[in-house]
Amino acid sequence: MTENKLEKIFAMQQELNAYVGNKHGIVPLATHMKDATMEERIEWLLKFNKALGKESNELDDCYVWKWWADDQGDFNWQNAKVEIVDILHFFVSMCLCVGITPQDLYDTYEKKWQINKQRQDQGYSIAGKTEDDNRNI
């Protein structure tokens, strides 16, 4: 397959968002989010972020975290994979909402990766941390 898989994921998520938007009469989802008003984009960014957080909580539930329980059970690896993909659905929706393309995501990731690596090489500390190195991303 020669198609970029990240581009394919973004296209598939846009298609799913449009399907859900059309099915439920949600105009910002039915159209491309970049055509939504600023207020609608902010609203949907916050909705997607909340959904992402809820999916992250569901990932926590793949293991009994209650230390007081007699039977902790086994970690549910299969469900963990599904929850991570659900997180990806909402993460990509957030990217679409703010206009991040797959190329933008890669470029920004690479720049931030370099900053994080440099911070580690220089002895990362909370006391010395500033966000100045993020301003050029």
The predicted-structure confidence for 35-71, as pLDDT tens digits, reads as follows 889 999 999 999 999 999 999 999 988 887 777 877 7
Question: What is the pLDDT at residue 104?
Answer: 95
Q: How many CA atoms lie within 13 A of 63 on its CB side?
A: 9
Question: What is the pLDDT at residue 3?
Answer: 63
Beta-carbon contacts of residue 84 (< 8 Å; ≥ 6 apart): 59
User: Would you give the DSSP letter of residue 69?
Assistant: -
Question: What is the pLDDT at residue 125?
Answer: 80
